[in-house]
Structure formats: C-alpha cells, structure tokens
Amino acid sequence: MIDSTSHSRRFLTRRQRCACWLVCLLLGGILAMTALAQSPAANRALVLTLDDSINPATRDYVERGIRRAESMDAELLVVELDTPGGQVESMRRLAQTILAARVPIATYVTPSGARAASAGTYLLYASPIAAMTPGTHLGSATPVTLGGETPEDANSQAMRQKMIEDAVATIRGYAERHGRNADWAEQAVREAANLGAKEALERNVIDVVAVDLDDLMAQLDGRQVELEDGMRTLSTAQIELVREAPDWRTSLLSLIANPTVAYGLLLIGFYGLVFELASPGTLVPGVIGGISLMLGLFAFQVLSIDLAGLGLVLLGLAMIVGEAFLPSFGALGAGGIAAFVIGSILLMDEANSAVAWPLIGGTALVAAGFLLWGVMRLMGVRRRMPLTGREELIGAEAVALGDFTAGRGKVLLHGERWQARGKGPIRKGDRLRVMALDGLTVSVEPTSVERSPTSI
C-alpha cells in the first residue's frame, strides 16, 4: 500500500515535470518567433512597381504598400516608377500619403528608357529620396484637362491659368520640403521642360543616379532622411529586398480606372437608368446602369474606393432582397450578386484577403442558391394549371343535367349551371370535358360512358 502510494506520487511528479518542460518550450518558441519576426524586419526594404498611369487603383496599391512597410517596420520603401502621368487628384492624395509616411520612401525611375512624366514628376519631388536610372527622364508636368481647351474662350484661359498656378505652388512646395531645385520644377510645369537622369542630378532635381537596386542600396547606406517624426539614418548595406508586385485586384481596378473604360461606364450607367425610367419594370437596364454608374464614379474619383465599394455592397444587398418582392425573373438577384462581389473586391485589402475571400464567396454562394431556388420555384409555378379564369375552365370536368337536344343542353360545372354545346348523343348524368369557351357557353364532349350517380 505504501509502495503504491509512493509510486503514484512519483508518477504525478513526472507528469508535472513534463508539463513544465512543455510550457517552457512553448514560451521559448514564442519568444524566438517574436524575436525572429522583429529582428530582420528592420533590415528589409519593400519594393513596389508602379508602371501604369497614376489613377485610383495604382494610388491604392502604393498606399497599401506604405501601410505594409510601416507595419513591418521596414528600413526603406522603394517605388519603381515608370509612368506617363495620370489624374491630378490621385497624384495629390498619393503625394500627401508619401509626405506623411513613417517609413523612408525612395521613388526610383527605372528601368532604362522609363519616365516620370507629368504626375510622376510631382511624385518624384514629393518623395524623401528621388533616384533615377541612366537613360530615364522626367518632366512635362503641365496640367491638362481631359477634354482639351478652347483658346478663344476667356473663361477657359482663366481656368487654365488657375490650374497652372496651383500646380506650380504644389510642386514648389514639394521641392522646398526636400531641398531640391524649385525653379526647374516650376519650369517643368510652365514650359513642360524635361531632364535626363544625369542632368537632373547635376541640377539638384534628384538625389541619386543608380544603375540598379543594388547600386541604389549601396549609395543610400548611411544617408539621413527627414521624415515627419524626425531624421532617420538609413542602413542599406546588407538589406533584404522584398518585392511586392501589383496583384490581380490592382490590375482589375486599373482597367476600370482607364479613362476610356471609365467614360464608357458612365455612359452605360446614364443610359441604363434612362431606359429603366422610360420602361419601368424592365429592371435589366436599371441593374446594369446602377452598377456601371457606381464604377464610373469611382474611376473619376467622385467616390473614393471605400465609398464605391460600400455603395456597391449595399446596392447588391438591396437588389438581392428586392428579388424576393419583385417579379424580375432573376435580374435583380443576379445583378445584386455581381454588385456585392465587385463591391467586396473594392473593399478587400491584402492584409485581410485570406478572411475576406471565404466570406465573400460564401455570401455570394448562399445568395446564388436562394436565387436559383426562387427561379426554379417560379418556373414550377408557371407550369401549373391555373386555378381560376378562362384557362382553368378548359379541360375541367362537368356533368350533363339533362339530355342534349340538337346538340345543346345544360351542364353542372364547378357547382354552377352552364349552357353547353356538344357533339353526339349526350344524356343526363354523362361526364363531360370542357373543350372550349364561347362567352357563357362551353363546348363539351363525353369523357366516359359512365353516368354520374348524382342527378339534379
């Protein structure tokens, strides 16, 4: 008995020791993973590629990259730039984000033959570090309107002058913020001047000319950069480059933001709503027009990407609910699912895409299932025989109330007396089938030789 108790105590002590070892190993693993995650992040550089026009999609891509670089405490963010220009509003918002970033940003015009034209010049000036590859150029920063201008119109000339003066003030502010050549920046706006990489370095328009990323990292090592929260000394000698190329979401949004596509979406949205108002109840033009109009407003930056996504999600949910109350034959439901998915893609961020995709897909599949069930039910109802009216009387059974004379007589049909016409001998009590209806007279024919046991 004593031996058994001591053995049990030794066994329990052994279990407690194992539990302590497991807890220690678990805590040690967590601490090691935390240290591993924090240690190399400070010596990483996130590399983005912006080789399209500056539009809401590319702005969203770069802004998400900046947020990711800040969250991973990266040493540097490099934006590889090759752009013909873009929308003024997108450029301004992106420049504001760059100026307020808590991570050093180097805008690098690359590869050889690339350009930072128009809006790209503003982004280059707004960046804490401006770099170019030999064989690249920047400039032509004069703002232009989408529809051109009318030289003879005094109002148009005044508006153009206001745009130029505003652009000059903007780019000079960027230049003075980073101590670069503000006079040439003004020349690029007023005279659409251009500079190559070597000339830009000589005239203090950019900071570095580098042949590739490795050369850029070598030249930036030990350089001091002024940020919103103070000076930062870069350590890029043995930095790890983490490249994040544009994903399919950015490509899709860039396609929507293309000026030609955006203009087409606005036209489709406008005429779709016009056709719906001209023929209320059609629903298909209204559904297509509503979705197209929301996307067009996003493309022209009337709505931000978040507002456009939220609007499409709410529009989609309203259409899905409306499918249950309106006879749209699936038009509202299908349009609602499409609007919900597109809006969810606009709202979806890379950081939560792993969670977002199952949620989006699951919600869309559930809505599609209800839509399919509703359509199948509707098709089944359409195949049913009518319960009232003229259509229901055709094929109904009746009973002869007396012998027909000269092919005429009376029948009992749904508890009512009807005048009837029939071919052949029809006697009282015969079961008849209604074949046609002419006013208040039915045409009947015998269905069986049996007689009804009921006589009236």
Average pLDDT over residues 201-205: 95
pLDDT of 4 over the 60 cut: no
* Burial of 390 per CB tally in 10 Å (0-12, 13-18, 19+): exposed
d(CA 116, CA 131): 11
Nearest-CA neighbor of 228 among 369, 419, 98?
A: 98
| CA torsion angle 324 325 328 334 (round to 10) | -30
CA atoms within a 13 Å half-sphere pointing along the CA-CB vector of 409: 25
β-bridge pairing 230-233 and 224-227: antiparallel
d(CA 424, CA 408): 10
15: three-class secondary structure by DSSP: helix
| CATH class of the domain at 41-249 | alpha beta
* 205, 184 Cβ separation under 8 angstroms: yes
Residue 209's beta-bridge partner residues?
132
d(CA 64, CA 81): 16
d(CA 267, CA 311): 19
Average pLDDT over residues 364-374: 64
Encoding tokens for residue 83? 């752009």
Q: What is the pLDDT of residue 14?
A: 52
CA atoms within a 13 Å half-sphere pointing along the CA-CB vector of 124: 38
* 229, 250 Cβ separation under 8 angstroms: no
* 106, 76 Cβ separation under 8 angstroms: yes
The topology (CATH level 3) of 389-451 is: OB fold (Dihydrolipoamide Acetyltransferase, E2P) (2.40.50)
Q: What is the pLDDT of residues 21-55, one digit of tens each?
A: 555 555 555 544 444 444 444 588 999 999 988 98
Average pLDDT over residues 55-72: 91
d(CA 47, CA 134): 19
> Which residues 6+ apart lie within 8 Å of 379 measured at CB?
none
pTM recorded for the entire structure:
0.65
DSSP 147: T
**CA-CA distances (angstroms) from residue 454 to 194, 429, 430, 445?**
105, 7, 10, 19
Domain ranges of the chain: 1-38, 41-249, 258-383, 389-451
Average pLDDT over residues 429-443: 85
d(CA 154, CA 152): 6
CB count within 10 Å of CB 318 equals 15
Q: What is the pLDDT of residue 169?
A: 94
> Which residues 6+ apart lie within 8 Å of 303 measured at CB?
294, 297, 311
Please tell me whether the peptide bond between 358 and the residue prior to it is cis, using omega within 30 degrees of 0.
no
Q: What is the pLDDT of residues 74-104, one digit of tens each?
A: 999 999 999 998 888 889 999 999 999 999 9
Average pLDDT over residues 304-314: 84
> Which residues 6+ apart lie within 8 Å of 418 measured at CB?
398, 410, 411, 412, 440, 441, 442
